[in-house]
């Protein structure tokens, strides 16, 4: 089982023409759905509201074959994200988080998830920002079983981070037990300002992860292991929007890794890494060709099962 931990929310997409659409979202929510659609065994660790939006989120997870045995219910309202799309489909986010459902996740729920002995644990986005959820997950990463592969996608949202130093300190603690980091050039611009992306990625790798996956839109994905650095090209596509693309990338990489029976010790294998990252690129590209966070099903991919 892969456990994906963090927030589920509603994206209110505002198009360049001002049109508004509400879709299920949240980085961990999108990641879990991606893994489920690709055939992975995945459980969502987070809180779902009892309001109408919460019911929509719950129904979407169930439809995408995500296990909800680790999810908890709350009467707090669903967290909202305002995603303003520009003419190229890129999104700028603002969040309404105060006293909402995402914050409710606590250490008891995290401990219960860890007792399930997952093959992999994925954390990131607001899951490492909003309290008490952030502290509960950071603490949980430090207690995870040695056999569990930990993947982190910071997916930095500066508009939500009130205390940058506190956030960076928490992320540093998490990275000490992280195996794989998926990070974008935008993330690195926040984490390591005024530092070239490659140097910033190396700084992230130096904190502990065995593998760093650096994404930059349509530019090649840069892969950094402890032994090598190489690029994987990204085929050109016509983009509808980029909502959920990074989440789809991370979810697809993890789904491919676990379905092949790979673990922490295999992260130095460049052939295995290239295979999983190539699948992640394909899944992210398909997601960009659809409105909102709508990752593909396994049957839509060219890549065979292992």
| pLDDT tens-digit readout, 195-253 | 999 999 999 999 999 999 999 999 999 999 988 999 999 999 999 888 899 999 999 99
Is 302 among the domain residues?
Answer: no
Is 304 among the domain residues?
Answer: no
Beta strands 149-153 and 120-124 are parallel
Task: State the Cα–Cα distance between residues 181 and 65, nearest whole angstrom.
Answer: 25
281-298 as b/e: b if 16+ CB within 10 A: bbbbbbbbebebbbbbeb
Residue 203: C-alpha distances to residues 181, 188, 192, 238 (Å):
12, 10, 8, 33
Is 303 among the domain residues?
Answer: no
Is 280 among the domain residues?
Answer: yes
Burial of 260 (0-12, 13-18, 19+ CB in 10 A): middle
Three-state secondary-structure class, residue 58: helix
Q: Which uninterrupted H or E stretch holds 22?
A: strand 20-25
Contact 151, 178 (CB under 8 A): yes
Is 17 among the domain residues?
Answer: yes
The more confidently predicted of residues 120 and 82 is 120
Q: Where in the sequence is the domain holding 174, given as residue range(s)? A: 2-297
Task: State the Cα–Cα distance between residues 27 and 5, nearest whole angstrom.
Answer: 10
Is 134 among the domain residues?
Answer: yes
β-pair partners for 276 = none
Contact 61, 68 (CB under 8 A): yes
Q: Which uninterrupted H or E stretch holds 104?
A: none
Confidence at 306, pLDDT banded by 50, 70, 90: low
What pLDDT digit, counting tens, does each position of 136-146 carry?
999 999 999 99
Residue 112: C-alpha distances to residues 105, 209, 216, 261 (Å):
12, 25, 36, 24
* CATH number of the domain that residue 120 is part of: 3.40.1190.20
What is the Cα Rg of the chain in Å?
17
Task: State the Cα–Cα distance between residues 14 and 8, nearest whole angstrom.
Answer: 19
Is 258 among the domain residues?
Answer: yes
Tell me what pLDDT residue 227 has: 87
Is 80 among the domain residues?
Answer: yes
Residue 268: C-alpha distances to residues 9, 179, 271, 272 (Å):
35, 11, 9, 8
Task: State the Cα–Cα distance between residues 58 and 120, nearest whole angstrom.
Answer: 22
What pLDDT digit, counting tens, does each position of 26-65 carry?
999 999 999 999 999 999 999 999 999 999 999 999 999 9
What is the number of domains present in the chain?
1
CB atoms within 10 A of CB 233: 11
For residue 274, what are its two tokens?
């290239």
């Amino acid at each position: 089982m892969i456990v994906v931990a963090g927030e589920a929310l509603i994206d209110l997409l505002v198009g360049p023409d001002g049109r508004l659409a509400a879709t299920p979202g949240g980085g961990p929510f999108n990641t879990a759905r991606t893994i489920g659609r690709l055939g992975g065994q995945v459980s969502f660790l987070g809180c779902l509201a009892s309001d109408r939006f919460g019911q929509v989120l719950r129904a979407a997870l169930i439809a995408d074959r995500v296990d909800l045995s680790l999810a908890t219910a709350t009467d707090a309202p669903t967290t909202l994200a305002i995603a303003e799309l520009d003419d190229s489909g890129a999104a700028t986010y603002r969040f309404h988080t105060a006293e909402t459902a995402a914050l409710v996740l606590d250490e008891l729920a995290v401990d219960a998830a860890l007792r399930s002995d997952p093959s992999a644990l994925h954390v990131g986005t607001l899951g490492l920002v909003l309290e008490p959820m952030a502290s509960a997950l950071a603490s949980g990463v430090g207690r995870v079983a040695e056999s569990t592969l930990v993947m982190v996608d910071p997916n930095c949202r500066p508009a939500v981070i009130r205390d940058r130093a506190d956030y960076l300190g928490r992320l540093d603690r998490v990275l000490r037990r992280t195996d794989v980091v998926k990070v974008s050039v935008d993330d690195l611009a926040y984490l390591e300002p005024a530092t070239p992306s490659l140097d910033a990625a190396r700084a992230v790798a130096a904190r502990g992860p065995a593998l760093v996956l650096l994404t930059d839109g349509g530019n090649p994905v840069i892969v950094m292991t402890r032994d090598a650095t190489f690029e994987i090209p990204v085929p050109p596509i016509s983009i509808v929007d980029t909502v959920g693309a990074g989440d789809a990338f991370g979810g697809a990489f993890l789904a491919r890794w676990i379905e092949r029976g790979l673990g922490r010790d295999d992260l130095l294998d460049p052939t295995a890494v290239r295979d999983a990252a190539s699948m992640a690129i394909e899944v992210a590209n398909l997601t960009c060709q659809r409105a909102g966070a709508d990752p593909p099903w396994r049957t839509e991919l060219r890549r065979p099962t292992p």
